[in-house]
Structure 1
Amino acid sequence: MNQKLSFSSYIAVGSMLFGLFFGAGNLIFPVLMGQQSGSQVYIASMGFIITAVGLPFLGVVAMGFSQSSGLFELASRVHPYYSYGFTVLLYLTIGPFFALPRTATVSYEIGLAPYIPDNYRAFGLALFTLLFFGGALFFSLRPNKILTWVGKILNPLFLVFLSFLIIASLVFPMGSTAMAPVHEAYANASFFKGFTEGYNTMDALAALAFGIIVVQNIKALGVTDPKGIALGTLKAGILSVILMSIIYLFLALIGSTSTSIMAPAPNGGIALAKIANHYFGAFGSILLAVIVTLACLKTAIGLITACSETFQQMFPNTLSYKAYVILFTAFSCLVANIGLTQLIALSIPVLMFIYPLAIGLIILALISPIFKGRRCVYLSATLFTMFVSIADGLNAMPEFIRNTSWADAIINFYKNCVPFFNLGMGWVIPLLLGTVTGIIISHFLPEKS
């Protein structure tokens, strides 16, 4: 029997979706962006919100509207081989390689590291990651409880504690955004800089992973009609969009006003710790530790669950769901001990490569009725986009790679020949051209292609 979701169910699913998304990067990157963008914070925030909120929302909606059973099935519209490669790369990026370890390192750097002597910090990180991922493992082994734990318990607690910091910053601002200095990176084209900074949250990638969790929970609540699932996903996503946009803007403003009394920090975790200490002193450290740990724990649960379910479905003859949960949790615990700043630096080239491909897949899924879901359109658009995303990844490599003669020659070619490449938006025109080319080709091919 198909039924409509009640208002309370929409709230619970929307809260779960927000809770899955809003984790480590969502707290630290808007604060750092605020510190660096200074008086340009509003313009930079507009760009940031598009990639950190708008694209994830479209990703979740695309999963609901496409009626795909997951990212693997959606990516197979390009090609079956591409589906394996893209799905594995995306899940490893938002899972054990980068985003998942970051949930623990952010919690530690913000909540505990400032109060541990330097010679004990490595040991402290190791101990904290063991406890953190032990808790995440407990919840991830019970995936059928994720709506209750994340949507009804962890996320409301997180919002209550975070509201203390936001309200304090509104009542007692540290300074004025109009007088805040602007970092060189935001002096020109601050909107586009904010746009690419939104990549760091990895939420558009996570949307393709978490979308199926939302769909499964909506089905579990009794909605089985495809249109009802799509509508339920849309409504739940709207709640998440509103909450995330408001919080991002407040966090960016907190970062911008903080430059009146402190210098920009090396990363957003350190900046947030200093801001909390300014408002609440020693209590601020406890408050922030609770906020960050709750935020990161609920995201870690979602990432472990999504990665494990996907790998078990893609490779059913390998490991069980439980074994994948243990494997990904243990590996993430090891990687987390690299440290936050190093993890961010390592992840940027991968994100610059994979993000345009993920954006392209989301857009194609949403407009697929226009070209009847023809594979040649998916394939053409993806190939054109990949032509630029490879160069984006190369351009974000460490200096010792980017400054080699061969890499410099390739990057200069793209800078001179591809519009918007310098802004990190070089994929826009190729994606459009690839889609149009695929649609033209589809008119000359049999329908079954």
Structure 2
Amino acid sequence: MTFTFFSMFFGAGNLIFPPFVGAQAGSASVPATLGFIVSAVGLPILGVLAVSFAGGFDRLASRVSPGFATVLAVAIILTIGPCFAIPRTATTSFEMMIVPFLGGADATGATGAGGASGKWIAQLIYSAVFFALAFLFAQKPEKLSHVLGRFMGPLLIALIAILFAACLIHGVDASVAPMGDYAQGQLARGFLDGYQTMDLLAALYFGIVISANIRALGVDSEGTVRRETAFAGLGTGVLLVLIYGALSYVGVVSGAIAAIDPSTDTGATVLTNLTSSVFGHAGTAFLGVVFVIACLNVCTGLICTCASYFHDRFRTVAGHGVSYRAWQVIFTLFSFVVSNAGLAAIIKVSVPVLSALYPIAIVLVLLALTHRWFAARFARVYFWTVLLVGIVALLGCVVSLAAVFGFGEAGAFGWLASALDLLPLQSYSLGWVVPAFLGAGVGVIDSVAHGRGGE
């Protein structure tokens, strides 16, 4: 069950973020990686347990309100689907497989003006072929999953082991000084960058699946189901910690070999810099092929998942509505358009959105884990905690997106950014923590005043 759990979480996208953390953090990679592991490993495992204990995501989110459960579910599906995760499968595999071999690129993968134009055309063609294949495979996803799912996980682990061993042999004379977002506050920055894996959001759906698999093995006792889920989560957590730690070191070595620009480069650049230096073009090509296969597999599954969700959720009582196949077409075309913005742009825009969704998911998970002895006694705690955290998180998202799209903090967003800066821990993008405690306190008072217990 541990390896099933692991395969649900770890994809090609998880392969590019830890090296990017290591390359930027350099000599401060230990606290940065620790922060990354807390949010990229600890939170998703807790999320699976929380959803399992609650009896499913809808039941957990409905403790806030039924309408909120629908809104949050749609937001999560769009985030781990056509808005970010699906386009990222195409851009990641393109950066790994095609960019290193484009004419006009230098040793780090950078291109001049003419090269940039050629790269855009190549990306357009590649993404068109990639999504055409993904759409075709999505018509019968079980065939692709049965074939690739059996060896992609072991292949990725073997690849990581080879990269790590090569880095141990190569060594690093002197780690680079922390740069970019990791110039200071490496622990907090690593925690925030762990959001990029999107695993906590996915975990809100995985928990009930893992529990169902355990029950299918003949386990009927709820206590046993929870214990087995916890054991599977612990085993998965250990694997992920080891892998993320190894990949972070890979990033440190790669950063010492070839400098990166944190504002334009990505984890894909970090990996290709390393493979090009250590293994040559053959190693880079092999790494690219693995990424293409893994990303195509993930893309196919996500298209099917998103289409199934929207088809089931938004059809009428009589069963009418947009067909499953039409949703597949919509999500495939939308993802194709978004993917051509490029990997760096997708990651840059996704950061504010994930920074809005993650605090809400975190407080939901924590409340679910304390439900029996705390939240169940004060039903309004869910509403007030999520409300106050949601307000702060969404306002922060507005300010961050304005900066991403070039509006900066001038005008209407200037006073909003200044107001948010008054919150404790906001300098670490954790301004939602104090409102969470305040919401819990208000929820307790409201529950006591109106005599509202939990489930």
Q: TM-score, normalised by structure 1?
A: 0.88
SS of 2:68's equivalent?
A: helix
**Structure 2 counterpart of 1:414, one-letter code:** L
Matches of 1:411 and 1:170, distance apart in 2: 44
Structure 1 residue ranges, 4+ long, deviating more than 6 angstroms after superposition: 143-147
Distance 1:150 1:422, change over 3 A: farther
Question: Are 2:449 and 1:427 aligned?
Answer: no
Following superposition, the deviation at residue 359 of structure 1 comes to 1.0
2:298 alignment partner AA: T
Q: Secondary structure at the match of 1:338?
A: coil
2:244 to 219, 224, 248: 248
Structure 2 residue corresponding to 1:403, chosen from 405, 409, 416? 409
Partner of 2:109: none
Determine helix, strand or coil for the equivalent of 2:371: helix
Gaps of 5+ in 1: 1-9
- Structure 1's 213 and 224: CA in aligned 2 closer, same or farther, altered over 3 A? same
Q: How does 1:376-391 map to 2 (within 5 A)?
A: 376-391=380-395
Kept in 2, the 8 Å contact 1:162–1:291? The answer is: no
Deviation at 1:294, TM superposition (A): 4.1
Aligned Cα root-mean-square deviation (Å):
2.6
- What does residue range 256-405 of structure 1 map to in structure 2 within 5 Å? 256-265=252-261, 266-317=265-316, 318-370=321-373, 371-372=375-376, 375-399=379-403, 400-405=406-411
Distance 1:149 1:320 in 2: 28
Cα offset for 1:396? 2.0
Q: How does 1:95-106 map to 2 (within 5 A)?
A: 95-106=81-92
What CA distance in whole angstroms lies between the structure 2 residues aligned with 1:255 and 1:310?
A: 37
Which residue identity does 2:310 align to in structure 1? F
Contact 1:181 1:259 in 2 (8 A): no
Residue 116 of structure 1 pairs with residue 124 of structure 2: no
- Specify the code of the residue in structure 2 equivalent to 1:378: Y
Separation (CA, whole Å) in 2 of partners of 1:286 and 1:388: 45
The equivalent residue for 2:62 is 76
The answer for unaligned runs of 5 or more in structure 2 is: 104-114
Aligned residues: 432
Amino acid at match of 1:438: G
Q: CA deviation at 1:44?
A: 0.6
For the Cα contact (< 8 Å) 1:353–1:392, is it kept in 2? yes
Contact 2:310–2:327 (Cα < 8 Å) also in 1: yes
Give the direction of change, closer, same or farther, for the CA distance of 1:239–1:397 in structure 2 (3 Å limit).
same
Letter in 2 for 1:93: T
Q: 1:67 is matched by which residue type in structure 2?
A: G
Instruction: Quickly say closer, same or farther: Cα 1:431–1:23, change in 2 above 3 A.
Output: same
1:66 aligns with 2:48: no
The answer to whether 1:22 aligns with 2:10 is yes
1:128 aligns with 126
Say whether residues 1:412 and 2:405 are aligned partners: no
Structure 2 match to 1:165: 163
**TM-aligned CA deviation for residue 92 of structure 1:** 0.4
Question: What is the alpha-carbon distance in structure 1 between the residues aligned to residue 441 and residue 244 of structure 2?
Answer: 35
SS in 2 for 1:152: coil
Alignment check: 8 A CA contact 1:44 1:191 kept: yes
Following the alignment from structure 2 to structure 1, what is the Cα–Cα distance between the partners of residues 160 and 350? 27
Shift of residue 314 of structure 1? Answer: 2.1
The equivalent residue for 1:190 is 186
Counterpart secondary structure, 2:370: helix
CA distances 1:233-252 after superposition (whole Å, capped 9, x unpaired) = 32222222122211111111
How far 1:398 moved relative to its partner? 4.2
The CA deviation at 1:52 is: 0.9
- Describe the superposition over 1:134-190 as per-residue Cα deviations: whole angstroms up to 9, x where unpaired: 55445544566798556533212222233221221122224344xx21115323321
TM-score normalised according to structure 2 size: 0.87
CA shift in 2, pair 1:148/1:438, >3 Å = farther
Deviates more, 1:405-414 or 1:17-26: 17-26
Matched to 1:20, the amino acid is M
Note if contact 1:349-1:396 (Cα within 8 Å) is conserved in structure 2: yes
Distance in 1, Cα, partners of 2:217 & 2:325 = 24
Distance 1:144 1:228, change over 3 A: farther
Q: Label 1:72 to 1:401 Cα distance change in 2 as closer, same or farther (>3 A).
A: farther
Structure 1 residues 167 and 151: CA distance shift in structure 2, 3 A:
same
Change (3 A) 1:341 1:142: same
> Quick one: which amino acid aligns to residue 304 of structure 1?
I
In the alignment, the residues of structure 1 paired with residue 219 and residue 83 of structure 2 have an alpha-carbon distance, to the nearest angstrom, of 35
